[in-house]
Amino acid sequence: MPETGSWQVRWQSAQRSARAAGDAALRRWRAAPRRTRQTWRLTAVSAATGLAVAGGAVAVSGPWDAGQRTAERAAAAGSGSGSGGERHGASTDPVRSAPPVLSALGGSAPGGPGRAGAPLPTGAGLAEVLAPLLKDPALGPLRTASVRDVAAGREVFGVRADEPATPASTVKLAVAVAALSALGPDHRIATTVVDGTGKAGKSGKAGQAGEARDGGDTGDTGKHRIILVGGGDPTLTARAPKPGPAADRPANLRTLAEDTARALKQRGMTTVTLGYDTSAYSGPDQHPIGPNENIAPVSALMADEARLDDSEFGTAPRDAAPAVAAARAFAGQLRERGITVDGDPAAAHAPRQAGEIATVRSLPLAALVERMLTHSDNDIAEGLARQTAIAAGKPASFAGAGTAVRDALAARHLPLTGAVFADGSGLDRDDRVSAGLLSRLLLDASSDRHPELRSVVTGLPVAGFTGTLSGRYPDKSSGAGTVRAKTGTLTGVNTLAGTVVDADGRQLVFAFMTSGTTDPQGAQKALDTLASAVAECGCR
């Protein structure tokens, strides 16, 4: 037998000492009261989070912008003419890296036994931690809550969880699930240029600003009519493409113009007139809150969300006629490519069976859902609600979209008692959902049984790092990097719904709603504290 060296003796001695210390610590842990154990957990998680934030080891990104998620702060909108609604001002701060404590979605906490193998939290344990926090005076008179365990698939804590309340932007979770259910995560929205020659058709929809709805050949010798047909892609852009993989870029009017010009030249056509068709959508295009920097008029054809500045998300002045602006931008791109566009673009209706000249398609629906949720994008939300209506064969209007969203959720057997979907963005105060519905939406999206809904979870802002939660958690907050949640903010309304992995490695989803608040910052902080408490708790 080989001789045991002195270093081996020291190593074995150290191992025995470590085991003895570990056994002693375990005995102290088991003997300690539950409240003391929870305090120890909170301290450990907070320390780990602070170290991880300082290290900044793991970047959180999404496919919709080649990994460059720009931080966005959520602030309550002021009341008054044209100012109601959730406001998200763009931050100029660089995106911080998410810490290692951020667990993989559907996984467990670092060192944990796995989300199904970890101990199941109890209602009494959660109530002991959350009930006092729900009494925070910064919260309004209506306070509802629902916490569900993903592996067990059931609610483990609830307070008035079935009572409908104004959701603000958390209603986007319902729109996301409805759109993904109706269309699938791989669906892409087409914007098309067609041959406009033929007999004029009738759309039955009034055009923007009194525009005519006829189409067909102009009757002018040597001039051919083409029609730009909007399919409702809310992320269509007219800007120069950003660096990065082409597969991560949104559909671009420049690409469409290049393909159209090439096809026209192949047919020997260099002079055209241009029409544009927005008949995919119907009903009023103006949101009930009126002209507002939070949202453009809802049109089946728009570029860059009708923004009049170079912003990509958040509030911005908007063009009052998005389709006209998009058509003019497209005409300019055609002219740059050697096609003469005679006159100004005019509203038109594409003839039935019109020949296709060129088409561009949006990123997959899953990517649109991610962008909508991360930045609480109201324009994408209204677009996806109408896409749900189109898929269901209903009018693509505010009313038709609301019906289609509700029907899609009903088909999933979700709790819809008292639910109202007046719009897709949550800007309408007539919207109503319950905390129980929000937590069920997140439960389905987190479940391995519903991979088609995965982007609902991956699109959630990460506390302290991305989207509308980037400015809500201080660097050393115990919830930073561990909470993923959708925010909802209107004047007097604050909501938060998302997912966490608790201290024992159990994946939970939660929804907290409050109305009648008078201190928006205080209410947001109270909700953030509730979410952090769920993450830090091993509540048994």
Q: Is 181 a catalytic residue?
A: no
CA distance 323 to 303: 8
CB 488 within 8 A of CB 170: yes
* DSSP state, residue 120: P
In angstroms, how far is CA 349 from the centroid of its own chain?
32
Residue 496: beta bridge partners?
487, 512
CA distance 85 to 432: 15
CB 398 within 8 A of CB 430: no
Q: Is 376 a catalytic residue?
A: yes
Catalytic residue (choose from 103, 181, 299, 376): 376
Structure tokens at 31: 């003997």
Structure tokens at 43: 């301290």
Residues whose CB is less than 8 angstroms from the CB of residue 276 and which lie 6 or more positions away in sequence, other chains included = 227, 228, 229, 230, 301, 323, 324, 326, 327, 330, 345, 346, 347, 348
CB 496 within 8 A of CB 512: yes
CB 365 within 8 A of CB 185: yes
Catalytic residue (choose from 108, 146, 172, 477): 172
CA distance 407 to 233: 22
Half-sphere exposure of 374 (CA within 13 A, CB side): 28
CB 119 within 8 A of CB 504: yes
User: Of the candidates 506, 187, 112, which has an alpha carbon nearest to the alpha carbon of residue 363?
Assistant: 187
Structure tokens at 320: 């009052």
CB 223 within 8 A of CB 321: no
What is the secondary structure of 232-296 as a DSSP string?
--TT-B-SPPPSS-GGGSPPBHHHHHHHHHHHHHHTT--EEEEEEE-TTS-S--S-TT-SBTTB-
CB 538 within 8 A of CB 122: no
Q: Dihedral sign, CA of 173, 208, 205, 232? A: negative
| H or E element at residue 361 | strand 356-361
Q: Is 311 a catalytic residue?
A: no
User: Of the candidates 485, 245, 230, 479, which has an alpha carbon nearest to the alpha carbon of residue 360?
Assistant: 230
Catalytic residue (choose from 169, 299, 434, 439): 169
Active site residues: 169, 172, 376
